Structure 1
């Protein structure tokens, strides 16, 4: 007998939100891990808020919501709030009840300077790193470093002369036409009026120039986990400078190796690493290489060059899933926070694969 397509709205629900989430869902394990990490940040989060006044939205919920945005490729905070409202899985992960009211999307902007900044995101990043170290997942001997382009949220039409002599748009409207054909444009003479921190840059000779930032990751070679991260303005030396900073504060064992591509094969960079007691396993340039037979003759050198390519998996996930291909924000401080938090999310998913709870067993 065919059933009738009649929808009868029930007044009460007899299933809790907890009952609706499958027991073997991978987010259950992730939620448990994230709750522990946020609990260790309790004192640091409490220091951000006054002792009196109106009660705020719990910062733990904002951070969990930001994690959902990265993990499920939600493109904007406005859309994130909408999905938390009707998606029971997201609502449960964030910590809301079935009838709990979702905050306005502007709450993220209001908390950007206080909560969703580089200091707090790096603190969360370091908590995830400490968990990986506690589980003995990290190598303290072998590392890889690399950088990647992060496209800025800025238009080339607003890349204008610093002296203010750029010609006006040829027509009006919301998206006016700008004729810069034949004009030589560079960072020395031009700047973006949309995002002053963005720089015109290209990764390789055959690539096109674009307004962007650079993201940097230092990866340990045992399981491919990011142990340090940076974001900088784009320049020809930014990758090497960021690598030296990350290695100095993260790699402490004398004789440790760091693999890198040919862009790091510069005498000054190689000498700086050796001065820190680190062996540079850098891919050799065809001419004028700073790497000699003392390094290339070692069997570990070839292994480092092979494993260093895993760092591209970090960048690939961060751009395709984590939304880091084009930053959601303007200004280097906000881009730094987004980059570090995205790499922390990648570490959690990578650890989920290693622990076996990333995918459902049902």
Structure 2
């Protein structure tokens, strides 16, 4: 483990520090406690999501080094979904390897209502991580960040999935590097660094640390769309277009994320200016909605649908809302997911605005 330090090992360590620095600078969003002045300068508390695979063990190795130099205080949580034979043994082995790095590790069993649903497993995993982070915060009175080992390889695959689904800029932004207390330091792009870590890098990091990653047998199956992209689509694109496709996709995600963040912030500002208060529905000044550029208008309409208690509208429903806004007179309703309806009113006097308005409310 001594001697030459592989560049990927250094990148992993820098990524963790950069992600935590950005989170602290933003006020530790998603945390249940405030990072007050009394704790300023103390080592950040991080909870590592560990599966036993190369990605998460590489994350544990990076965090363990930083913990050994008092730059972080880290522990690991291994969630056993119980979806495969031998999962308990794999979880125990992962915990043992993490402890061998000098970190504490705990295994918890997840309760999954529908074992055949990948989304259910993901929700159970993050629920367990959130619960553990809250307990640690209560014990330490310090904010706790949750770190996952998602890599740039995962990001490239996610961009292709978003492109195939035609979900817009936010989908092309891929996996967020930070969302609340959830930080993904291997995706790079944190302030002060453009580093990132690829899946192959995590295997090299594990080898450098003397770790033996668990090989999930389901990763070789072509049932999930992500697996087909990793096993078939990306290799085909690389062989047809040449090397660097995955790097270009990951770079696209980083650029799209910056654009999407800016547009979302501008849309939130516009929504605040256009929404009328003092009503039991979501009411927007229609002339203002019409005046918005299309990317902002669609975001404002989606935000209004969510504020009315509905779900984020599909592209087709968003187009229907835009058509409703464009026409004259009173019209509607347009039905939206989540039992919400939208309609246009020529004279919004009943809502305190003597001009056309767009109303979104619970369907009646």
Please classify the TM superposition score into its range, dividing by the shorter chain length.
under 0.3
Relative to its length, the structure with more helix (as a share) is 2
TM score, norm. by length of structure 1:
0.23
Q: Which has the higher contact order (CA 8 A, sep 6+)?
A: 1
Please report the TM-score for the alignment, with normalisation by the length of structure 2: 0.23
